[in-house]
A and B are shown apart, each in its own frame.
Chain A
Amino acid sequence: MSSREEGLSGLVDLPSIGQLISLLERQGWRVIGPTVRDGAIVYERVESIDDLPRGWTEEQEAGRYRLKRRGDDALFGYNLGPQSWKKYLHPPEVRLLEARRENGLLKILKQSDPPPRYAFLGVRACELAAIAVQDRVLVGDRFADPIYEARRKNLFLIAVNCAQAAPTCFCTSMGTGPRARQGYDLAITEILEGERHEFLLEAGSEQGASVLGQLRARQAGPADSEIAEKMAEHAASQIHRRIETEGLHDLLYANWEHPRWDDAAGRCLSCGNCTMVCPTCFCTNVEDVSDVRGEHAERWRRWDSCYTLSFSYIHGGSVRRSVRSRYRQWLTHKLASWIDQFGTSGCVGCGRCITWCPVGIDLTAEVRAIRDTPTRAPKRRENRNGES
């Protein structure tokens, strides 16, 4: 094992990844990682190396995903599936409250058990960036979300560096990948060269270094780090999708009346899939349910989407009635107003919204269309209510 300034690193063999899983489980973490289910690679509980998608990869394009066999034994030879880690940190459905009427008084019942300590195995660079974005939104603001915070604070993050990129990836435009640079406990680079199948492990925190120390790792040399850099370069060279971010915020604001919004609205189903798969979208609604006798009530928080009519419902009706205004809300929030709100872009370039849109609407193409034919909007005086 070599001790470098930024932390420890070492090389391990294939079975060691299984040992890593059981080691974490033994120390009280619930390991969530990639596994094959229903024709895709999803993030679910993994208990051994056999649960990992060994030898699997995928093909992705706008509106299309197909699981595919690789010709080798790679454990991490895929890119991104439909789900992000948001599923665990910011769960789709949470019961906030349960109450019962007892002797005329409202009694709040015991809250659910504390969440497990999660260890995430296989977090890509863009996903680390997405977690950082949600950290800023959900805990880094005046009001913190205790549900997110409770899951986030005990997290063990194992990053995986991408050796390849999907055609839908554009992390290079957003400055988030393909190599994990920070925000992890351990980072894995899978080295597959001829007969050689090894994993370069780099610790990014004390917690990571301690786990690495418990694995039988052999010393990594400068040549191994170089391989990792080369792989990242190779992955980056495969990325063809692009968003020009220079001046994007002002461009989108100035073009709020661009005809391209109508064009997108003609194709968009307002189904909300893009917001659900996006690793940074955080919107939720809160619903109360009561029983017929009015004696038992529950309050639920569920993922919501700015594509629904109820999302912008205020006294008198929904503000964003047209699909045009809803598509525009989504895109400009991700790429422009997020910056005003939280100081970063709301998009990390993972491409999920492109792949998992049932009609393959591609935000990079929408942005390009606006950039190519900017039509400055008239002054804002007509925009009374966001509807037009």
Chain B
Amino acid sequence: MNSKRRKPRIGVFKFASCDGCQLSLLDAEDELLDVAAAVDIAYFPEASRAMLKGPYDIGLVEGSITTHHDAGRIQKVRKQCRTLITIGACATAGGIQALRNWVDTAEYVRAVYATPKYIRTLSLSTPIAEHVPVDFELRGCPINKNHLLEVISAALIGRKPNIPTYSVCVECKRRGNVCIAVAQGVACLGPVTQAGCGAICPAYGRGCYGCYGPMETPNTAALTDQFRILGNDGSQIRRAYRGFNAWAWEFRKAGEECE
């Protein structure tokens, strides 16, 4: 980096989420010092007392929009960030909490909270890109820390990040896994899910859960047909699509088509 130039400032912002994705950054222990040397972490309440005012060169946004307050806050965050990158399934698709989108939220609030009138919430959990323009969406539940470092490195030098958008199957085969869909009849979402995890679940005999969301050209209708051939009924197939990326458009459509 050119030392005369001021260091780029990064802000990390949290919305409705579990913090797991932000923690991926802290988990990159070996690289964190490099990140700290290359950038000014100006706002990262999770990790430091840094609460410097904007504007920021890069904003990393975790979490989905579930409250009126957050719907307003994301507008302010967007205005403060030159480049806005959303990280994780909550921010890119609405997260697991988007399962509320198919139920009566008010009824849940009444059932769960002692004093429902204190709760003000939106009936939908929605991804950041439904509220403001987003420069790059980094998928995953949680994200892969190497991807995060790649996206930050790429943003710093202004190149396109090297993040695959093809299927999990490609990674699965490179890894040398025996396909559990073919060899064991397991319903695996790998063919319609974006790569990124390195095909961890199939390596341990579990079908892909779709953590990285829909791949570039997902043919969910064909996969649904195959799941039926493997002996799954509509409700089982719907449940497969309704995971961390349930509200991602292609999975949402696929799940609804199983009704």
Contact = CB atoms under 8 A, between A and B. Distances in A.
Nearest to A40: B178
A137 B194 CA distance: 30
Contacts of B152: 292
Given A272-B169, A309-B216, A39 B191 contact: no
Query: In the complex, which of the residues A40, A266, A270, A355 has the most CB atoms of chain B within 10 Å of its own CB atom?
Result: A270
Contact of A39 (B34, B37, B178, B188): B178
Interface in A232-272: 266-272
A87 B173 CA distance: 10
B157 interface: yes
Interface string A280-315: 000000011111111000000011010111100000
Interface string B143-183: 00000011011001100001011110110011111111111
B1 interface: yes
B129 interface: no
B183 A269 contact: no
B75 interface: no
Contacts of B205: 38
Contacts of B217: 270, 309, 323
B184 interface: yes
A305 to B, nearest CB: 6
B46 interface: no
B191 A358 contact: yes
Query: In the complex, which of the residues B35, B166, B177, B225 has the most CB atoms of chain A within 10 Å of its own CB atom?
Result: B166
A323 B225 CA distance: 18
B255 interface: no
Interface in B193-218: 205, 216-218
Interface string B106-119: 00000000000000
A63 B185 CA distance: 9
A291 B34 contact: yes
Interface in B13-31: 31
Nearest to B165: A309
A138 B180 CA distance: 31
A308 B37 CA distance: 36
Contacts of A293: 1, 34, 37-38
A271 B169 contact: yes
B190 interface: yes
B170 A38 contact: no
A183 to B, nearest CB: 25
A92 interface: yes
A277 B173 contact: yes
Contacts of B167: 269-272
Query: In the complex, which of the residues A269, A323, A356 has the most CB atoms of chain B within 10 Å of its own CB atom?
Result: A269
B35 A359 contact: no
B174 A64 contact: no
A55 interface: no
B182 A64 contact: yes
B105 interface: no
B166 A276 contact: no
Contacts of A356: 179, 182
B182 A63 contact: yes
Contacts of A92: 173-176
A243 to B, nearest CB: 22
B206 to A, nearest CB: 12
B192 interface: yes
A358 B181 contact: yes
Interface in B218-240: 218-219, 221-223, 225-226
Contacts of B219: 266-270, 323
A42 B153 contact: no
Contact of A359 (B170, B185, B223): B223
B178 A37 contact: yes
A344 interface: no
A294 B35 CA distance: 11
A128 to B, nearest CB: 22
B172 to A, nearest CB: 8
A273 B183 contact: no
Contact of B183 (A67, A266, A303, A360): A67
A149 interface: no
Nearest to A91: B174
A65 interface: yes
Contacts of B190: 271, 358
Across the A-B interface, give the 5 residue pairs with the lowest CB-CB distance, nearest first.
A276-B173, A271-B191, A92-B174, A269-B191, A308-B166
21 contacts: A39-B183, A42-B178, A81-B178, A82-B182, A82-B183, A92-B175, A269-B219, A269-B222, A273-B173, A277-B173, A292-B35, A292-B37, A292-B153, A293-B38, A308-B216, A309-B217, A310-B165, A323-B217, A356-B182, A358-B182, A359-B222
Given A271-B170, A273-B169, 15 more contacts: A39-B178, A42-B178, A63-B182, A64-B185, A65-B182, A82-B178, A92-B173, A93-B174, A269-B192, A271-B167, A276-B170, A293-B37, A293-B38, A309-B217, A359-B226
Interface of B: 1, 31, 34-35, 37-38, 149-150, 152-153, 156-157, 162, 164-167, 169-170, 173-185, 188, 190-192, 205, 216-219, 221-223, 225-226
